Chain A
Amino acid sequence: MKFQAKSKVESGIPTASMPDIVFMLLIFFMVSTVFKESEGLNVVLPAAKKIEKLPGKRDVAVIWADRSGHISIDDKLVQVDDISPIIYQKAADPLHPMKVVSLRIDQDVDMGRVVDIQQQLREVGGAALNINYSARTAVD
């Protein structure tokens, strides 16, 4: 009897288009990747439920305040009194006028500090300043 050894079984799924798919994914990531601008400080954000997403990532000034009392803007450590002129500069920038200030303050910071920062922001003047207290989602 003749059994032809059918050892040559072809798998049949055409994989010729795999590099194409990979290139598509790659181009997607290359286009959508935005590199982080600043490191910021080590901060544990407070938790809240009714949090809203910040409208737009650009035109945002970020102020970090950690529990050891450091305040930083754009990765530079600043004193409380420096906040007002810095934010004023950002708001007066003709190319990218800052619209929102994002306050990333550690949850254990004393309110005295927060109030000082807020008073500095109020001194910037002009129209009412939109601020956003950064928070993480609360899991009750």
Chain B
Amino acid sequence: MLLENEKRRSSEIPTASLADIAFLLLVFFLVTTTIDTDKGLSLALPPKGETKEVRKKNIANILINAEGQVMLNEEPIEITMIRERARQMLRENPNLIFSVKTDRKTKYQVYIKVLDQLKQANAQRISIAEPES
């Protein structure tokens, strides 16, 4: 009689708050998840000691001075014009190599802008020249 009652008592953990806990964890992850994408301009740096002979007519010299002014083959040029000019030059000479030389005091942003323009012009061969120290 008494035993029967004891057997029939069901032991249940109240699971009503399960959804609440799940929501809390979900909100935690929603708030802390950041999708971190690293993007940028890529380049391949040749190792030291590798020097290739290049004919002078296949080189386009780009000089950037400390004030951020750019000279392409001895003529001053606006940074935004580099893309079109580079495209023209590439059409004339598809083997053209762009050599970029900066001053030690040039701002990194200017260098990136120039590199960006060259990449927009689809220049495949970009060489980085050492500034005079």
Residues of A within 8 Å of B109, CB to CB, are 46-47, 107-108
Query: In the docked arrangement, what's the CA distance between A50 and B43, Å?
Result: 12
Residues of A within 8 Å of B111, CB to CB, are 111, 114
How distant is B86 from chain A, measured CB to nearest CB, in Å? Answer: 12
Using a Cβ–Cβ cut-off of 8 Å, how many residues does chain A contribute to the interface with B? 57
Question: Which residues 106-131 of A sit at the B interface, judged by CB distance below 8 A?
Answer: 106-112, 114-115, 118-119, 121-131
Cβ-defined contact, B45 with A128, below 8 A:
yes
Query: In the docked arrangement, what's the CA distance between A135 and B41, Å?
Result: 7
Cβ-defined contact, A107 with B131, below 8 A:
no
Q: Is the interface of A mostly helix, strand, loop or mixed?
A: mixed
Using a Cβ–Cβ cut-off of 8 Å, how many residues does chain B contribute to the interface with A? 43
Task: Check if A1 is an interface residue, CB within 8 A of chain B.
Answer: no
Q: Is the interface of B mostly helix, strand, loop or mixed?
A: mixed
How distant is A40 from chain B, measured CB to nearest CB, in Å? Answer: 11
Cβ-defined contact, B30 with A29, below 8 A:
yes
Closest residue to A56 on the B side, CB-wise? B38
Cβ-defined contact, A49 with B120, below 8 A:
yes
Q: A122: which of B23, B42, B48, B108 is its contact (CB, 8 Å)? A: B48
What are 20 A-B residue pairs whose CB atoms fall within 8 Å in the complex?
A: A19-B18, A22-B19, A22-B26, A26-B25, A29-B33, A36-B36, A46-B113, A49-B116, A52-B40, A105-B108, A109-B108, A111-B64, A111-B102, A111-B106, A118-B45, A121-B45, A127-B47, A129-B47, A132-B43, A138-B116
Q: Which residues of A contact B (CB under 8 A)?
A: 18-19, 22-23, 25-26, 29-30, 32-33, 36, 45-54, 57, 60, 62, 100, 102-103, 105-112, 114-115, 118-119, 121-138
Q: Which residues of B contact A (CB under 8 A)?
A: 18-19, 22-23, 25-26, 29-30, 32-34, 36-48, 64, 102-109, 111-113, 115-116, 119-120, 128, 130-131
